[in-house]
Amino acid sequence: MRIEVIGSKGQLGRELLRTLRSGAHQGSGHDIEDVDIRAPHSVSALLDAVRPDVVINCAAWTRVDAAEAEAEAAWRVNADGPRVLAEACRSRDILLCQLSTDYVFDGTASVPIDETAPPAPRSAYGRGKLAGEAAVRALQPRHQIVRTAWLFGQDGPNFVLTMLKLARERGRLRVVADQWGSPTWTGHLAPALVRLVERGVPGTYHLTNSGTTTWQGLAQAIVEEVGLDVPVEAISSSDYPTPAPRPAYSVLANRAWLELGEPPLPHWRVGLRAYLEERAKVDARPPAG
């Protein structure tokens, strides 16, 4: 299969290209310098040149807080972009795998959320992503919408790298302990996404590492894994106000994926350990040149 990754310079896109390089498929990737998902002519030109069987769309406006003040700009990427892609994929019979987010939920659940639960986003980012999902569902029946969460991978930016930096600079951390989710390593997610598009079964999927924790629990695990003696104080969301409200609970049950007979993704702590080992190797490399 020929698989085109759009948003290939982001943290998930880069991981997907790495996965595709070591697999049986022909992978290619493009990002904003080559294709603008908001622009139909740009998307058409790319798809006609590459002629993929599958598009995995990782391109998005992911600055969650900035999306509150710049809601229109974020909407153009997160809602209009998938609509443009869906129309272009439909007319060329290309399977469209569209990435989405746990932030489409309002956080009032208390048990893992499955794919049929009604979304109710609380942020401009979540509303835009949900509109992008709706456009894909309406316009391209051959779609897979994949909601994932709390990603870390490659060079980031992500929470893991931010915590490591702050822990080393400040010698202590204060992190919110009243938001629950499933941290997910792109190194586990990317091969699962490739598997999902190979299977080709249309629908909406939740796909995260197994297990749940809070941001404080994740920060604690990060300092433990790298052996930093840094206290990680638990604070509440009200102690750390952000422009965009986050769901208090957005743990995703990976029900549709498991129903395909696929194995659960490993526990998030396994993903964290693998990621930190990979980073240690990257950091130990001599500088280029």
Identify any residues that bridge with 206 across adjacent strands, giving them in sequence order.
147
Fill in the amino acid letter for 155: D
Token pair of 165 as six digits: 């930096």
Q: Does 29 bind ligand NAP (CB under 6 A)?
A: no
Contact segment (CB under 6 A) with ligand NAP among 27-35, 65-73, 115-123, 194-202 equals 27-35
97 touches 198 (CB < 8 A) = no
Binding residue (CB under 6 A) for ligand NAP from 19, 62, 179, 250 = 62
Binding residue (CB under 6 A) for ligand NAP from 3, 4, 5, 10 = 10
Number of H helices, E strands in the chain: 11, 12
Whole-angstrom distance, CA of residue 14 vs CA of residue 23: 15
Q: Are strands 54-57 and 95-101 parallel, antiparallel or unpaired?
A: parallel
Binding residue (CB under 6 A) for ligand NAP from 16, 55, 56, 60 = 60
**Helical ranges in 179-267 per DSSP H:** 186-199, 215-226, 255-259
Whole-angstrom distance, CA of residue 255 vs CA of residue 96: 20
249 a catalytic residue: no
Q: Supply the minimum distance, in Å, between the C-beta of residue 162 and ligand NAP.
A: 12
Q: Does 150 bind ligand NAP (CB under 6 A)?
A: yes
Q: With respect to ligand NAP, which residue has the nearer C-beta, 77 or 232?
A: 77
Contact segment (CB under 6 A) with ligand NAP among 3-11, 44-52, 246-254, 281-289 equals 3-11
Binding residues for ligand NAP (CB under 6 A): 7, 9-13, 31-32, 35-38, 58-60, 62, 77, 81, 99, 101, 129, 148-151
Which residues participate in catalysis according to the annotation?
125
